[in-house]
Amino acid sequence: MTRAALWIAGLARWAPALSYVIAIAIVGLLMHARPKEAPPPVPQATKKLEKNHKIEIGDLQTDATAALTGKFLTREIAAAKPVPADAVADKPVQPPIANTVATLVSMSVVERKAQNITKGQDVQVCLKKAPFGGPTKVLAVDCDEQVCAVMVKLPKPTPANIDPDAMADARLIDAASNCANTP
Q: What pLDDT digit, counting tens, does each position of 107-121 carry?
A: 999 999 999 999 899
pLDDT of residue 179: 82
Residue 71 has pLDDT above 70, yes or no: yes
Q: What angle do CA 161, 166, 167 make, to 5 degrees?
A: 105
Q: What angle do CA 171, 175, 179 make, to 5 degrees?
A: 50
**Residue 17, H or E segment:** helix 3-33
Residue 161 has pLDDT above 60, yes or no: no
51-65, 67-81, 140-154: lowest mean pLDDT where? 51-65
Verdict on whether the full-model pTM lies above 0.75? no
Residue 69 has pLDDT above 60, yes or no: yes
pLDDT of residue 33: 78
The answer to whether the beta carbons of residues 154 and 166 sit under 8 Å apart is no
pLDDT of residue 106: 92
The mean predicted confidence, pLDDT, of the chain is 82
| Cβ neighbour number for residue 43 with a 10 Å cutoff | 23
pLDDT in tens, 28-63: 888 877 777 766 677 888 888 888 888 888 888 876
